[in-house]
Structure 1
Amino acid sequence: MASTGAAAPSGGMADVPENANQHCPGTSSEQAGKSAACAGCPNQSICATAPKGPDPDLAAIAARMSRVKHKLLVLSGKGGVGKSTVSAQLAFALARRGYEVGLLDIDICGPSVPKMLGLEGQEIHSSGAGWSPVYVEDNLAVMSIGFMLPNPDEAVIWRGPRKNGLIKQFLKDVDWGELDYLVVDAPPGTSDEHITITQCLQGAAAGSGGGSGGGTAAVIVTTPQDVAIIDVRKEVNFCRKVGLPVLGVVENMAGLVLPAERAAFSAVRASSSTSQQEQQQEEEEDVTAAVQALLAERFPGVQLRLRAEVFREGGGAARMCADMGVPLLGRLPLDPGLGAAADAGRSVLPEAKDEAKEGGAGAGAGAGAKGGLEAVAPQACIAPLMAIVGKVVEQTAGADAGADGKASKAAQ
């Protein structure tokens, strides 16, 4: 019986939905939706009309994905936490390290990857090998439904089956070539797109002898406040139900950090005025210039940064990770330079020539002087981003070593 949610093993059968009746024959059985055990099941009508047997697309997907070493699904149960920002910057950073990287945008209704990679207006081309992704750099390829829309403001109003069909096309028809990492930017939630991408990647890996995981793992993004953490807990449980390993959690927007010279300072005084308009004018006085002068005099030759916890002090991701037994990859602050980089479609990381010339914090300023980032050079986000990327590489390298060890023992 076809599941409307994540299927979990029941009675030793992986294709039995959690809400199925006892003695369910399984969603792929010829008796699905027809047997006596199906009477009264909420999935009966779906199972009776759903195609039976193995998915015919899995063989083609397996052939494509066999050339991709690691698949990283960037997930979150909550919208607006910065999944696309993390996906884009993770892809940029991995490519900067010399890896062959692909970035797949499966947010069908809200594709923002073309904007964040500076690829607006690009189109997909096809050849005998399949669809050709759009390249940002020689080792960074991108695919998104955004490249297919005649108008960037066009609304994509699709039901689940059509979304699922396009995701399968992306997996089986895009000629990625040999990739070290395929980063998948997913929409929020735990529904059609997430089930499809997970089942396709795992099914393809199992069919090619790669095991249930097949080099696929999740990076989960959250923000510090409880309203996000509640939904992200559901995402962690989704990963566990479908057997998807979680590399760790990224806490995005973890406090506001900005250079002091970009801050505005006000002196607020009590007013005895009874007029609301006069009171507003008298209560707040702009003292930015005076404060900036005092700071420059007191701390000459250094850059000062302001830091404030916007949502909650200390964040909630660390507590959630401790409760649920998943790693915390790191905390990305609200850096104005990160937002500017996303709008400009660029990496926040400095170019190699800028890094060699400027060094340290100046490298971020060198990168910020290009591509519309002159006003806001990324600074505070660079170190935590690189630490997160380092942990991702370390964990995937560890998975490679474990797989090689198992293969070696099997050969012996």
Structure 2
Amino acid sequence: MAHPNLKIPDGGGEECGRGHACGFCPQEQTCTLDKRAHNKTLVEARLGEIGQIVLVLGNKGGVGKSTVSANLAAGLAARGFRVGMADADIHGPNQSRYFGFAGEHIRVDARGLAPKHFTDPALRHGLRVGSLAFMLQDDDAPVVWRDAYKHDFVHHLMGSFDWGALDFLIVDMPPGTGNELITLTDLLEGCDVGALLVTTPQAVAQMDSLKAARFCLERGLPVIGCVENMAGVVCPHCAGAFHLFPEAGLGEKLTALGIRRLARLPLDPAIAAGSD
């Protein structure tokens, strides 16, 4: 259910006969422009102000894509870059909680939807956060949408949110290589975009995550590298390290695909506490 001051896109995909990103425009009802052409122009204008777009994906749920996305965005912002955090996980939008906006909503203004602005003394420009969570009546309200609705929301995420000028837009992708990922890669064709893979060490996670890698390679989407998450635990008492998951040869598999392993992140209770 939508927040009373907003309207969730009413679906229809390519056959709906209107512009996807026009849905949150205050002038939509009286606009005389061709909606489809106007939508294309609006999305292109938004994307034209963004430098690098990074899709954080992994196909597998529960490997830490949202955690890596949030920390990547915060890390870039701490280095003085202008950063946006786009939450494309329609069924499980978590970025509102990571940045302290759980339960908050946004309204339409003259420029569309204003992302929440996360500020911190360590972040020169702050950090802009856009998520479907800001349009839900309650944090635990399920989003039960068919693909046409998802198709529309991806356009809204890129075109209706007023991202402004950014050096980086980090996109937290949902699990899977389906509608959301296909729609977004179609929409971002021609942009400066790359994928960051996230997986955990065990074979069952790698089996799914490497499918996302193959999607990128077959689609021609540049892969920046892979983050191996939950790669061991450091004991808080003796500082000794041990592994929860058996080694399943991730390094060799990534090498075979021509993908670099950029980092190995251990399980850390401080990250879990900070995220919640």
The alignment's TM-score, normalised by the length of structure 2, stands at 0.83
Contact 2:103 2:138 survives alignment (8 Å): no
Over alpha carbons, which structure has the higher Rg? 1
Provide the residue aligned with 2:129 in structure 1: 142
- Distance in 1 (CA, whole Å) between partners of 2:249 and 2:140 is 35
Contact 2:88 2:180 survives alignment (8 Å): yes
Contact 1:255 1:310 survives alignment (8 Å): yes
The letter of the residue matching 1:258 is: C
Which region of structure 1 is more displaced relative to structure 2, 166-175 or 100-109? 166-175
Provide the residue aligned with 2:43 in structure 1: 61
Contact 1:101 1:181 survives alignment (8 Å): yes
Corresponding residue SS for 1:259 = coil
Runs of 4+ in 1 over 6 A off after TM superposition: none
Choose from 247, 252, 267 the match for 2:224. 247
Alignment of 1:253-264 (within 5 A): 253-260=230-237
Provide the residue aligned with 1:305 in structure 2: 239
- Distance in 1 (CA, whole Å) between partners of 2:148 and 2:219 is 20
Alignment of 1:11-160 (within 5 A): 56=37, 57-137=39-119, 138-160=125-147
**Which segments of 5 or more consecutive residues in structure 2 lack a partner in the other structure?**
1-14, 18-35, 120-124
Contact 1:68 1:179 survives alignment (8 Å): yes
Q: Deviation of residue 123 (structure 1)?
A: 1.2
The letter of the residue matching 1:225 is: Q
- Structure of greater relative contact order (alpha carbons < 8 Å, 6+ residues apart): 2
Alignment deviations for residues 69-93 of structure 1 (CA, whole Å, 9 cap, x no partner): 0000000111100000000111111
Choose from 174, 188, 194 the match for 1:187. 174
The letter of the residue matching 1:325 is: G
Larger helix fraction of residues: 1
Alignment deviations for residues 353-403 of structure 1 (CA, whole Å, 9 cap, x no partner): xxxxxxxxxxxxxxxxxxxxxxxxxxxxxxxxxxxxxxxxxxxxxxxxxxx
Provide the residue aligned with 1:386 in structure 2: none
Choose from 238, 254, 260 the match for 1:327. 260
Provide the residue aligned with 2:211 in structure 1: 234
Q: Percent identity between the aligned chains?
A: 42
- Distance in 2 (CA, whole Å) between partners of 1:341 and 1:309 is 22
Alignment deviations for residues 321-369 of structure 1 (CA, whole Å, 9 cap, x no partner): 11211111110001111111111xxxxxxxxxxxxxxxxxxxxxxxxxx
| Alignment RMSD (CA, Å) | 1.6
- Distance in 2 (CA, whole Å) between partners of 1:193 and 1:250 is 21
- Distance in 1 (CA, whole Å) between partners of 2:146 and 2:61 is 19
The letter of the residue matching 1:233 is: L
Q: Quick one: structure 1 residues 305 and 322, their matched pair in 2 at CA, closer, same or farther if it must change by over 3 Å?
A: same
Q: Deviation of residue 307 (structure 1)?
A: 1.1
Contact 1:99 1:139 survives alignment (8 Å): no
- Distance in 2 (CA, whole Å) between partners of 1:318 and 1:122 is 41
The letter of the residue matching 2:265 is: L
Corresponding residue SS for 2:100 = coil
Provide the residue aligned with 1:284 in structure 2: none
Corresponding residue SS for 2:240 = strand
> Do structure 1's residue 316 and structure 2's residue 252 form an aligned pair?
no
Corresponding residue SS for 1:71 = strand
Corresponding residue SS for 1:305 = coil
Q: Deviation of residue 129 (structure 1)?
A: 1.3
Contact 2:254 2:261 survives alignment (8 Å): yes
